[in-house]
Structure 1
C-alpha cells in the first residue's frame, strides 16, 4: 500500500482495460467515467466475456454517503413469439455441455443504456473521449492474450456456429489464438457513432434495427425502446463492524453472499464453507438449516430462485476509485453469446434466453417482461476505520464463493492481496465433487476430510473466478489488486 499524490486506482481482467480506466482517472475523470472507458475496452479486448449487447450491474460508493446500485441487466421480451433456437455441444474433455444459441435466445440488452445513465448521473468526461481508446484498439487491433484464447477455445462451438462469427473472432480457418492480432473495424465504427448519438443508437437507431433484422429474433422495437436501467438500494449487512453492500433482488448473488457472511463464524474452516454451500444449494427445497441463516434474506432468495436460477459463464469485472474518493465496481456479461453477428456491427449479442442456468426449464420458459436474475455481484465493503474496498468477480456460479471467501478473509484481517490469492473451495451441485485449490497442509487435510468427493486443482485456476479489487483509506492511501487467475492487471 502506498500514499498517492493523486489517489486513483483501477483493477480489471486485462491490461488494456485497466489502462483505459487509469488514463481517464489520471485526467481527472470520475470513477463512472473510468468504468465506461474500461467497459467499452473490455468489449474489444475481452470479446467473449463482454459485449455491448449484454448486461451488467454497477455499484457506486462515495467516500461519505450511502452506496447505490445501477441495474443494467437484461430483460425478457414483452410478448412471446416463436424464435430461432439452436443447440450446440461444448467438449470440456471429461464432460460435455449443451448450449443454446440463435436469434431466439437474445434478451433485451441493458449495458449501453446503463453506461449512459451512469454517465448522466456521475460522469463528466465527454463520451467521445471515453470511447476513443476502445475505438482505436478495435480499429488498429490488439494482441490476443493466453487467457482470452483459452476462453475462446471453451466457447469454440458458439464462435464457429456461423462463418461470420468465426471471422469476427479469428479467421475463416480458426478462432483466435494467443499472439494473434484481432481487429474489429465494424465495432470501432459503431462505438464512434455511439459516442456521438448516445444510447438511442442501440434502442431505436441503426444498431437497434440491425438487431431486430436477425431471422428468428423474439425481440421487438418496443422491447428495445422501453428498456430502462434501474437505480436500486443495495442489499446491506454488517459483519464485525464492516458494512457490506451487495446487489439486491432480482439478483441472487448478493443474497447468497450475505447469507454466508451472516451465518459463518470467524476464521471459517473448510467444513463450514462446505456446509454453507450445501445449505445455500438446498434453500430452494427446504427451510430448515443447520446454519442460522437470516430468515428474511433466505425468504427473499427462495422467492427469486422459484422463478429462475442464475449462473453466467461469460463475465468480467472492473473496480476503480477516483480522486474524489468515489469507488465504482462494474460486473458485466454477455452470457456465452448467441453465436451470430448483428449485421454491420461486429457485435455478438447475448444468449441469456437460452442459458439453462438462468432458465432451468429450458429455452422459452422465461416469464414476459421481467429482469432475469443474475449471480453477478459488485460489492462495497466499508471497514470500521472508514476504508472502502470495491470488488467483484467473474466466474459463473463461482462468483458467490470467490467473493464470499475473499470478503471473509478481509474481515478476518487478511491483507487485500492475501485475501484474493487465498485458496478457494467451491461446490457447484449438491451431489457433485468439491472443487478446491492447493493450499497449506493443514487446510488440505481439512478438505480431504470433507464428506464428499474431492476435485483438487493443481494450481490457482480461472475456474474459481477472478476477484479484482481497489481500496481507499480515509487518508487517501490506495491499493489495487487484480486476480492472476483471470489475467488481472492493477494500477495505482
Structure 2
C-alpha cells in the first residue's frame, strides 16, 4: 500500500481522489512533508501522486521523474509537455552526477534574420505564436535517455499513468480552469485548442472532466516504440503537416536527427555548500554561481533580511551577473562560453569591488544587448536509496505556441522566441540577448532553467528548481542565501518574499506586499527604480535531504504538492 501524504491543501485532493478523481488544484502551504521512503515535489498534486506511486512500486528517482514528466504533459498543459524541452540533473547515491540537455533546437532551415521584416525590425508575434515559433522538441528524447541510463522499471510502465489520465480524464481544478480560460482569444486562429474547451467552445469550468483521447493515443505509441514512435513515423508526419499548414520549418530531418546531449554540470560553492546546476545552453548554472560568488565577496550574513542594504547589494550583484548573461551565454556547441571565467572566485572579487553604496545605471555596466517566458515547470525527486533528480521542462510561454498538433493532441513550444531575434531587442521576459544567442540552424536557444542540487561535505542536502523565465536564477540564489546567510529553514526560505533585477530593464521588481514606504524611499535614495509586480515570482519545488529522511516543500505561490512515500514523519529540524 502506498502511504502518501501531500502538503496541506493537497491532502484534501487525496480525499477527493477517492470520490471523483485527481484535481490538479489547490493552494499548498509552505510546510514540509518528510518521509524515509522517498519524496516528490511537483507543481501538480496529480503528478506528485504519480511519482510517489512509482517510488512505492520500487522505481528510483529517475523512474519517478520520467513518469512525472509524462503525467504533467496531461494534467499541467500550460507547461508540462512532450512538445517542448528541458534539462535533468541527476546525482546518484554512488556520487555519479549526470546532466541531460534535451533543450529544443532551431530547425535546419532557421536563419539569423527569420523574424525580421524588410526594414530589419522584429515582426511582432512571429516568434511567439503558431508554427513559425516552434523549435524541434526534445522532451520525449530526454526522458527516454534518462530512463535508458538509470531507469529500473519498464519504460511502458512509466507512461501508463499519463495514458490513463489522458484517456479517462481528470476533474479540472479552479486553478487550471482559470488558466484554460485565457486560451479563449486564440480559439479561432488555433482550433486545436478546442480540446481544452467544452463541446460548444466555452471554457471548461472547475469540476469538468478534461479528456484528451488524441494525446492518449500518442502516449501509447511512445510507450510501445520509444522515441522512434515520436520522431519518426505517424507522429512525425503530423508535426510536419502542422508546419506546412502554418508556415513552420520543422522538418522530418530535424525530428529524426534530434538527440539528447550529456553535459558537465556547472559547479560552485557558497559558504560551505557545493552548488551543482545547469551548464550552457542554460545560463542558469553559470549565472547562479557567478551571482553567489559576488554575494559571498560582499558578505550578507551581517545584514538584515529584506533590509534596504541587503536588497541594494543583492540587486547590484544581480545586475552584474545578468549583464554577463547577455554578453557571453549561448549554445556551447556554437559559441565559446567562458564558463570557467564567469564562475571563478577571482572574477567575482573583481566585480564585487565595482559595487558601491549607490546603484550603478545598467547602461554603465555595458554588455551587448534576447528573451524568455515564465511558464516552465520544475519537479524534484529523492528516492529511498539516496538518488536525486531535478528536472525543469518548458513550452516557453504558457501553452507554448498555442498550436496543437492535430491528430496527436499535444502543444508545440514557442522556444524560438528565446533566441536573440535581433541582438539588443528584448524578448517576452524582457531579457536582452547578444550575438552568442543569435539564431543558427541546429542551435539550442539560451535558457535560464536551473535544476540545482546542493551538497555539503559531498552529500546532497537540497534539490530544487523553479519556473519563472528570467527570475529563475535570482529565485534559486535567494533561497540559498536565505538558508546560508539568514538562517531560514527550507519552508521559510521557499515562502519568503522575493525580488528581482536582471540588468535590463534597469529596475528592481518586488512581489506584492514587500515594498514599504521606507524601502521605496531608501532604495530611491540609493538610485534604484523599483516596481511592484502583479504576479508572484517563481513556484519552487524543493526537497531537503536529512540524515534520516527527506523533506519536500512545494511553493505556496502555486498549486503544487510535496508527497512522501513510506513512513511519513512530521517536519522537524
Sort the TM-score into its range (normalised by shorter chain): 0.7 to 0.9
Contact 1:163 1:172 in 2 (8 A): no
The equivalent of 2:475 in structure 1 is 402
Cα distance change on mapping 1:357 and 1:369 into 2, 3 Å = closer
* Structure 1 residues 167-209: Cα deviation after superposition (integer angstroms, max 9, x where no partner): 3455543344443321111101111121111110111121111
Counterpart among 495, 519, 525 of residue 421 in structure 1: 495
Contact 1:77/1:368, CA 8 A, preserved across alignment: yes
Instruction: Flag the 1:76–1:470 CA change in 2: closer, same or farther, 3 A.
Output: same
The CA deviation at 1:393 is 0.4
Q: How does 1:102-251 map onto structure 2 within 5 Å?
A: 102-154=130-182, 156-158=184-186, 161-169=189-197, 171-214=199-242, 215=244, 216-251=247-282
Change (3 A) 1:82 1:59: closer
Instruction: Tell me the equivalent position of 1:25.
Output: 55
CA distance in 2, matches of 1:106, 1:282: 27
Distance 2:440 2:369 in 1: 10
Q: CA deviation at 1:276?
A: 1.7
Aligned to 2:19: none
Question: How far apart in 1 are the matches of 2:145 and 2:327?
Answer: 40
1:273 aligns with 2:288: no
SS of the equivalent of 2:405 reads: coil
Distance 1:146 1:427, change over 3 A: farther
Q: Which moved more, 1:15-24 or 1:260-269?
A: 260-269
Look up the SS of the partner of 2:315 in the other structure.
helix
Partner of 1:71: 101
What is the CA-CA distance between 1:85 and the residue it aligns to?
8.3
- Using the TM superposition, give the Cα deviation of residue 435 of structure 1 relative to its aligned residue in structure 2, in angstroms: 2.2
Alpha carbons 2:33, 2:562 under 8 Å: kept:
no
1:5-24 → structure 2 map (5 Å cutoff): 5-6=36-37, 8-24=38-54
Q: Confirm whether residue 329 of structure 1 aligns to residue 393 of structure 2.
A: no
User: For 2:268, what is the secondary structure of its paired residue?
Assistant: strand
Shift of 1:431: 4.1
Tell me if the contact between 1:2 and 1:479 (Cα under 8 Å) persists in the aligned partners. Answer: yes
1:296 equivalenced with 2:342 (yes/no): yes
Cα distance, 1:143 vs. partner? 2.2
Q: 8 Å contact 2:378–2:391 — kept in the other structure? A: yes
Q: Say which SS state the counterpart of residue 224 (structure 2) adopts.
A: helix
Contact 1:49 1:316 in 2 (8 A): yes
Residues 290-328 of structure 1: CA deviation (Å, up to 9, x unaligned): xxx98434899xxxx999935233210110011110000
Deviates more, 1:259-268 or 1:8-17: 259-268
State whether residues 419 and 445 of structure 2, in contact with CA within 8 Å, keep that contact through their aligned partners in structure 1: no
The answer to whether the 8 Å contact 2:34/2:550 transfers is: yes
State the 1:220 CA deviation: 1.6
1:430 aligns with 504
More off after superposition, 424-433 vs 138-147: 424-433
Displacement, 1:243?
A: 0.7
Displacement of 1:365: 6.2
Specify the SS of the correspondent of 1:380: strand
Alpha carbons of structure 1 residues 162 and 440: separation in structure 2 relative to 1, 3 Å = closer
CA distance in 2, matches of 1:119, 1:64: 17
Aligned-residue Cα RMSD (Å) equals 3.3
Provide, for residues 79-99 of structure 1, a one-character-per-residue CA deviation record: whole Å limited to 9, x for no partner.
348999899xxxxxxxx9997
Q: Distance in 1 between matches of 2:263 and 2:198?
A: 39
| Alpha-carbon distance in structure 2 between the residues aligned to 1:467 and 1:407 | 12
Separation of aligned partners in 1, 2:271 and 2:517: 27
Q: Distance in 2 between matches of 1:133 and 1:26?
A: 14
Q: 1:345 aligns with which of 381, 389, 408?
A: 408
Question: What's the counterpart of residue 443 of structure 2?
Answer: 370
| Deviation for aligned residue 1:255 | 1.5
Check conservation: 1:274, 1:427, Cα contact below 8 A: yes
Checking the alignment, whether the CA contact within 8 Å between 2:372 and 2:396 is kept in structure 1 is no
Secondary structure class of the residue paired with 1:191:
helix
- The answer for the alignment partner of 1:91 in structure 2 is none
- In our comparison, the structure showing a higher alpha carbon Rg is 2
The 1:85/1:180 distance shift into structure 2, 3 A limit, reads: farther
Q: Deviation of residue 15 (structure 1)?
A: 0.4
Give yes or no for contact 1:160–1:175 (8 Å, CA) kept in 2: no
Alignment-derived partner of residue 486 in structure 1: 558
Does the 8 A contact of 2:540 with 2:554 survive in 1? yes
Farther-moved stretch of structure 1 (410-419 vs 383-392): 383-392
Aligned residue among 302, 318, 325 for 2:379? 318
Q: Contact (CA 8 Å) 1:11, 1:491: kept in 2 or not?
A: yes
Distance 1:382 1:223, change over 3 A: same
Give yes or no for contact 2:312–2:523 (8 Å, CA) kept in 1: yes
Alpha-carbon shift at residue 453 of structure 1 (Å)? 3.7
Residue of structure 2 equivalent to 1:90: none
Shift of 1:13: 0.2
* Cα displacement (A) at 1:410: 2.2
The whole-number CA distance in structure 2 between the counterparts of 1:308 and 1:112 is: 33
How many correspondences in the alignment?
468
